[in-house]
Structure 1
Amino acid sequence: MELRSGTQGRITRLRRGCKRAEPPNANVRRDASKVLRPLPVETNDEEEELMEEGDCFSTGFHKHDSLHPAMFFKTPRYSLIREVGRGSYGVVYEAIARRSGARVAVKKLRCDAPEKVELALAEFWALASLEKKHENVVQLEECVLQRNGMAQKMSHGNKRNKQYLRLVETSLKGERILGYPEEPCYLWFVMEFCDGGDLNQYILSRRPDPRTNRIFMKQMTSAVAFLHKNNIVHRDLKPDNILISQKSGSPVIKVSDFGLSKVCAGLSCMENEGDNQVNKNMVNINKFWLSSACGSDFYMAPEVWEGHYTAKADIFALGIIIWAMIERITFIDAESKRELLGTYVRQGTEIVPVGEALLENPKMVLNIPQKTRSIMSEGIKRLLQDMLAVNPQDRPDASQLEVRMDQVTCAA
């Protein structure tokens, strides 16, 4: 099998795996003068209501409630400036935090169908579960639930918020709840703003730079190791979902878009301590099996195509991204018409995702690197071969990968 480098293949096959919801209606666009006003209201009243005035979030409550005025914000907290992105199930705006003047990203997700609710809640659960911050994982500032003129700050596992519980039930059942009102429901995510675009835009708009490649490789690996340590499998690692922040003056990777992520729990691992086995009461994420074949074709591991995989699938996806970044292997996406970083196998006139090709032919040897005059070191070559192993047990886990990545990038 021949792998093509620096060429443009046209992808015409249908996308497989977990399908994202259809794009929201055009009427969700906002004028730059409109403002977002999320209001965190925490009460013990299960009948609590929150309401919106115009295009701003504000609060209201039943006449029987007696909430202290200090619990409400009198002025908008964020001003929406412009729309900066529109994905398959949400819209992203650049906004200004009124109090600090800092730029933030505000993502508005419409939760009007079970599949959209599932994606929105997956992102919220993943980001809300992180007790610590990581420089290379996008930071969630707050999440606000809005429905039919009502808004409330989301808190993980809030059993007193009926709207939140309805969203969870909708996601779990995969169907609309009987009697559920038809008014629009939205989740607003306020996150740090990344001004450098995504990895595709950043890499392909600049001349090749081995130093930048090494920095990005270490940062991406560090982010995945952090997520896995916190029991999160991303499941949709790709250049589109890797953003670049330049606030510090140097580019910094930010892994984002957790709509397909999975927070793993329920498995504990036993460790030997002397002659005794000790239950560490922690998840062994590499033994937590997942079955939903989801992700983006060109970055999916062979076992994901089969629908039986673990966190090692993230390691495979990261290997594809790093390989494509170093050698600038690209294709043209049939839907967006964008040039994207991604490694593939050429079969006749078609180009096939590496994972799919390996599933069909597990004995296939990948030609790493592709170019005869490649700048890829032997250490990185061996590491990529291990990351892209057909058998996930032959791949390093995220912690092992982080150690090896430090070694090969320092030696390069």
Structure 2
Amino acid sequence: MPAFNKKEVMDLRNGKKRKVSGGVRSRRRPAAARMKREAGKVLRSLTVESNIRRSGLMDDEDCFSISFLRPDPSGAASAVSPRYSLLREVGRGSYGVVYEAVARKTGARVAVKRLQCDAPENVELALAEFWALTSLENRHQNVVQLEECVLQRNGLAQKMSHGNKRSKQYLRLVETSLKGERILGYPEEPCYLWFVMEFCEGGDLNQYILSRRPDPQTNRSFMRQLTSAIAFLHKNNIVHRDLKPDNILISQTSGSPVLKVADFGLSKVCACLSSKSGEEHPAAGCGAGGAAGGGKGSNQNINKFWLSSACGSDFYMAPEVWEGHYTAKADIFALGIIIWAMIERITFIDAESKRELLGTYVRQGTEIVPVGEALLENPKMVLHIPQKARSAMSQGVKELLLDMLAVNPQDRPDAFQLEVRMDQVTCAA
């Protein structure tokens, strides 16, 4: 693989040889899958320097400052004081807005996502994130924490709970997602979901790595944190399906950077999926609010559950994801791409945002091609790791990355084997 040359890549962008993020060069996914992939990119907690838009802030603040509803024993709903005040908008996408906010009682900073439930695909993404994060029985320092989710409609707000089958609003949201048509409310009566999450003031992994000088110690710490997070998610039967530097946030409240895996809009809770089928379908008692989140009492092997929706972001997708038949091992491949790019600072220019993003690729003539797509076309292709002559990558890390990026998912370590090996190679370094 030739050495990375940023100017050449930018020239490719200007010459429109390849649309890096969005287009698929040789195989086209179904429209619904492409829509999922794009929608999954839009909501992130960003830094102060990010694209801050203040238009409409007061209107949104008025919406969120409505009192939450607290049901009393008689079944009526009593109003309580607003719990959060919005400070500023820190991100905006095609189906939602992210704010920095403060908890009025404690003064703690939080991130608040406001998602308008005006289309089934938006509801589907919101519910996927809600189910994944609420299915976790325990916290993990490297997984973003959901504090609560609030459903707002007609000037009233109701706290959402996982699998609350008594809530008509919740069941209508699920019905909207399943039927693919708007069930809840009308255009003149907008419905919103508000996600209250921990605030990550350090931006995302792209911003953090590319704004600082290379630091092998930080790289080793991040590698251990990432593998620990994925092992935790897989232990709890959650496949992320959209791991990329954009979806890895940085918290610096403890003094040293702590990674937080975020954006679970494309995630899948596998505890109730059939392991004998290549289709994604929940077993009885699961799905709408009943998806078991694994964890305690769950001894299932997540790598035996097959998924079929070809979703994710091109440059981090495993070969089998392009074909639409894969397991949790796809997360291992994506993590390998991220770590390889982080260590060697390999980047490309995103066609839509024009941002410089961490990500490895294969150069084929005048085109740059995602590694997973290239391996699918040529399974015998040999990856040249490290890519740069002066790379500080150890032999142990090199061998581990080659295993993580194996074309055959059975040849990749699972998340638990990866965590052990990562500790070994980073400590040896």
TM-score of the aligned structures, taking structure 1 as reference length: 0.86
State the shift of 1:292 in Å.
Answer: 0.3
2:117 to 111, 114, 121: 111
State the shift of 1:283 in Å.
Answer: 2.6
1:31 to 58, 65, 71: 58
Residue type of the partner of 1:41?
R
Distance 2:342 2:376 in 1: 23
* 8 A Cα contact 1:324 1:341, kept in partner: yes
Change (3 A) 1:333 1:153: same
Distance 2:398 2:108 in 1: 41
Residue type of the partner of 2:68?
L
* 8 A Cα contact 2:68 2:156, kept in partner: no
Distance 1:18 1:124 in 2: 21
How many residues are matched?
Answer: 377
Determine the structure 1 residue equivalent to 2:186. 181
State the shift of 1:41 in Å.
Answer: 2.5
Q: Give the alignment of 1:243-258 within 5 angstroms.
A: 243-258=249-264
Residue type of the partner of 1:254?
K
Q: Give the alignment of 1:82-101 within 5 angstroms.
A: 82-101=88-107
State the shift of 1:373 in Å.
Answer: 1.8
Change (3 A) 1:66 1:193: closer
* 8 A Cα contact 2:266 2:311, kept in partner: yes
Determine the structure 2 residue equivalent to 1:366. 383
2:301 to 249, 259, 284: 284
Deviations 1:321-357 (A, max 9, x none): 0000000000000100000000000111110000000
Residue type of the partner of 1:138?
V
State the shift of 1:6 in Å.
Answer: 5.5
Q: Does residue 1:225 correspond to 2:231, yes or no?
A: yes
* Structure 2 SS opposite 1:31: helix
Bigger mean CA deviation after superposition, 3-12 or 110-119 = 3-12
* 8 A Cα contact 1:358 1:390, kept in partner: yes
Residue type of the partner of 1:250?
S
Determine the structure 1 residue equivalent to 2:4. 4
* 8 A Cα contact 2:242 2:313, kept in partner: yes
Change (3 A) 1:167 1:268: closer
Distance 1:172 1:309 in 2: 22
- Structure 1: which 4+ aligned runs deviate by more than 2 Å? 1-11, 13-18, 20-24, 26-29, 31-38, 40-45, 179-183, 266-269, 280-283
Change (3 A) 1:378 1:349: same
Residue type of the partner of 2:4?
R
Determine the structure 1 residue equivalent to 2:365. 348
* 8 A Cα contact 1:121 1:259, kept in partner: yes
* 8 A Cα contact 1:6 1:327, kept in partner: no
Identity rate, percent: 76
State the shift of 1:4 in Å.
Answer: 2.7
Q: Give the alignment of 1:55-134 within 5 angstroms.
A: 66-67=76-77, 71-73=78-80, 75-134=81-140
Structure 2's unaligned 5+ residue stretches are 25-32, 44-52, 276-296
State the shift of 1:31 in Å.
Answer: 3.3
Distance 2:415 2:194 in 1: 31
Determine the structure 1 residue equivalent to 2:317. 300
* Structure 2 SS opposite 1:357: helix
Distance 2:71 2:163 in 1: 13
State the shift of 1:212 in Å.
Answer: 0.3
Residue type of the partner of 1:335?
E
Determine the structure 2 residue equivalent to 1:380. 397
Determine the structure 2 residue equivalent to 1:190. 196
Determine the structure 1 residue equivalent to 2:352. 335
Change (3 A) 1:32 1:175: closer
Distance 1:201 1:66 in 2: 47
Deviations 1:4-37 (A, max 9, x none): 366644351544544247779x998313993533
* 8 A Cα contact 2:144 2:262, kept in partner: yes
Distance 2:6 2:216 in 1: 17
Distance 1:394 1:88 in 2: 38
* 8 A Cα contact 1:265 1:283, kept in partner: yes
Q: Does residue 1:19 correspond to 2:35, yes or no?
A: yes
Q: Does residue 1:390 correspond to 2:407, yes or no?
A: yes
* 8 A Cα contact 1:4 1:344, kept in partner: no
Deviations 1:117-139 (A, max 9, x none): 10000000001111100000000
State the shift of 1:88 in Å.
Answer: 3.8
Deviations 1:276-296 (A, max 9, x none): xxxx75332101000000000
* Structure 2 SS opposite 1:365: coil
State the shift of 1:3 in Å.
Answer: 5.7
Structure 1's unaligned 5+ residue stretches are 46-64, 270-279
Determine the structure 1 residue equivalent to 2:280. none
Q: Does residue 1:316 correspond to 2:343, yes or no?
A: no
Residue type of the partner of 1:370?
Q
Residue type of the partner of 1:385?
L
* 8 A Cα contact 2:69 2:156, kept in partner: no
Residue type of the partner of 1:284?
N
Residue type of the partner of 2:306?
W
* 8 A Cα contact 2:134 2:162, kept in partner: yes
Distance 1:192 1:281 in 2: 27
Distance 2:225 2:341 in 1: 16
* 8 A Cα contact 2:54 2:89, kept in partner: no
Q: Does residue 1:141 correspond to 2:147, yes or no?
A: yes
Change (3 A) 1:145 1:44: farther
Determine the structure 1 residue equivalent to 2:278. none
